[in-house]
Amino acid sequence: MLTYEQARRTVIEQAEKAKGPRATAKISLWDALGFVLAEEVKTDREYPPFHRSTRDGYAVRAAEVSDGAKLRYVAEIKAGDAVTHSLAPGTCAQIMTGAAVPAGADAVVMIEHTNPEDDSVRFDRTAQAGQNIVPRGSEAKRGEAILSPGMRLGYAELALAAQVGATQLRCASKPRVAILSTGDEVVLVDQQPGAFQIRNSNSVSLAAQVRLAGGEPVLLGNAADRIDDLREKISHGLQQDVLVLSGGVSMGKYDLVETVLKDLGTQFYFDAVAIRPGRPAVFGKCGGTFVFGLPGNPVSTMVTFELFVAPAIDLLSGAPARDLPFVEARLSVALNEKPGLTHFLPARVEWRGTAPEVRALPWQGSGDIAALARANCFLVVAADHGQVSAGETVPILLRKDLI
């Protein structure tokens, strides 16, 4: 059985092989969050476009400023003011943050270090040339590529595009990810379940995870645990870039997903991973479509999506696979988990003065969505280190939708 690292690597290798030129579309800056850029974005001018003051204070010639020095006050410069005159020797100009420093001046002295006196300003310390000024062109030259293909557009990248006037961005179209839940016990979320039925929460969490991962969810509803229904709905799902199934991949008599996938010609890369929850996770390819069969217990579905499906969506979007958001924290309550499997336990990490501290939350196993809704991370217990003492440093996988 593969470790989760090996299984993840397998997904990444296969998705990398499938990487080709993707369809692209122009997307408005306002809608482009989470898309992957498919073009270079270049600056339209130098940045900053003028020598920019980073402080409210006085523009001066640094050599003229020392403790007790006095300079004649000649002008006020606000952000946005056109600056045409150069600063004459022996003078200073009041200047605001973001305003252009006039020629002649080579430093800005913070207002806190000055005292106005009649038509002059007195200074209480020396100044260094260049202080509190960002030189013209120091952030980017004119025509310089500041965003490149394959970059994921987050809020800073979008602000950068906005800064240079790129209001339409050519982006890779999002991979289409079909979502199909399975199970005779499953009813639509807006239906009243019978006494022994459950609502289809997996399709909801999967659609949210697909969106967060940068994919476009295509909802196919639920298939009954019957060969004919599974076959019809899976065939439909195989028209998309990725098909994610929930349920039907365990060892039960009615776990038929693998059988149907096999009949349809799926090539399997793994059908179990040494993790808990999520052990029966399946990954394969059928035609041009990547297929993930995730176990149906909701926390298993969520964990296996993050570990295995998310990197495939990254790569099919034309971006590199993002690393798992691991950090380390101090364990506050000892653990004793079955060795041989890597455990992903719903947990809460909190900053405790000097370091993050984490504790596993009480839970009823992989069906316990409420426990995960109280968690902000997964505490990862290594397969060969099931007994962990309080105070040990442990890896945690952040819930990237929350932190």
As a 3-state breakdown, the chain gives helix, strand, coil percent values, each rounded to 5, of 20, 35, 45
Q: Which of 49, 98, 149, 367 binds ligand AMP (CB under 6 A)?
A: 367
Q: Is 44 left (phi over 0), alpha (psi -120 to 50) or beta?
A: alpha
**Residue 186 to residue 194: CA distance in whole angstroms:** 10
CB of 269 to ligand AMP, least distance (A): 20
The answer to whether residue 247 forms part of the interface with ligand AMP (CB under 6 A) is yes
The answer to whether residue 209 forms part of the interface with ligand AMP (CB under 6 A) is no
The answer to whether residue 318 forms part of the interface with Mg ion (CB under 5 A) is no
Residues within window 125-154 making contact with ligand AMP, judged by CB under 6 A: none
The answer to whether residue 98 forms part of the interface with ligand AMP (CB under 6 A) is no
CA 310, 312, 314: angle at the middle one, nearest 5?
Answer: 70
The answer to whether residue 280 forms part of the interface with Mg ion (CB under 5 A) is no
CB of 293 to ligand AMP, least distance (A): 9
The answer to whether residue 311 forms part of the interface with Mg ion (CB under 5 A) is no
Q: Judged by CB under 6 A, which stretch of 24-32, 44-52, 241-249, 345-353 contacts ligand AMP?
A: 241-249
Q: Tell me the β-bridge partners of 107.
A: 60
| Buried b or exposed e, range 270-295, using 16+ CB within 10 angstroms | bbebbbbbbbbbbbbbbeebbbbbbb
- Match 């940045």 to its residue by tokens: 47
Contact 67, 132 (CB under 8 A): no
Q: Which of 248, 293, 311, 346 binds ligand AMP (CB under 6 A)?
A: 248
Contact 257, 245 (CB under 8 A): yes
The answer to whether residue 200 forms part of the interface with ligand AMP (CB under 6 A) is yes
**Residue 331 to residue 338: CA distance in whole angstroms:** 18
The answer to whether residue 114 forms part of the interface with ligand AMP (CB under 6 A) is no
Looking at residue 8, the DSSP 8-state letter turns out to be H
**Which of 160, 137, 134, 136 lies closest to 148 in space, CA to CA?**
160
Kindly tell me the sign of the dihedral angle through the C-alpha atoms of 213, 214, 215, 221: positive
The answer to whether residue 197 forms part of the interface with ligand AMP (CB under 6 A) is no
Looking at residue 390, the DSSP 8-state letter turns out to be T
Contact 215, 317 (CB under 8 A): yes
Residue nearest to ligand AMP (CB): 296
The answer to whether residue 202 forms part of the interface with ligand AMP (CB under 6 A) is yes
Smaller CB separation from ligand AMP, 164 or 198: 198
CB of 300 to Mg ion, least distance (A): 12
**Residue 198 to residue 180: CA distance in whole angstroms:** 15
Residues within window 329-388 making contact with Mg ion, judged by CB under 5 A: none
Q: Which of 102, 183, 293, 298 binds Mg ion (CB under 5 A)?
A: 183
Contact 345, 396 (CB under 8 A): no
SS3 299: helix
Residues within window 232-261 making contact with Mg ion, judged by CB under 5 A: 247-248
CB of 224 to Mg ion, least distance (A): 10
- In this structure, the dihedral spanned by the alpha carbons of residues 386, 387, 393 and 395, taken in order and rounded to 10 degrees, is 20
The answer to whether residue 298 forms part of the interface with ligand AMP (CB under 6 A) is yes
Q: Judged by CB under 6 A, which stretch of 126-134, 295-303, 322-330, 384-392 contacts ligand AMP?
A: 295-303
Smaller CB separation from Mg ion, 16 or 185: 185
CB of 297 to ligand AMP, least distance (A): 4
The answer to whether residue 94 forms part of the interface with ligand AMP (CB under 6 A) is no
CB of 140 to ligand AMP, least distance (A): 49
Q: Judged by CB under 6 A, which stretch of 49-57, 118-126, 290-298, 387-395 contacts ligand AMP?
A: 290-298
Structure tokens at 159: 């602000």
Contact 86, 59 (CB under 8 A): no
Q: Which of 111, 198, 361, 382 binds ligand AMP (CB under 6 A)?
A: 198
Q: Which of 214, 284, 295, 346 binds ligand AMP (CB under 6 A)?
A: 295
Q: What does the binding site for ligand AMP look like in residue numbers (CB under 6 A)? A: 181, 183, 186, 198, 200-202, 246-248, 250, 252, 295-298, 367
Residues in contact with Mg ion by CB under 5 A are 183, 247-248, 296
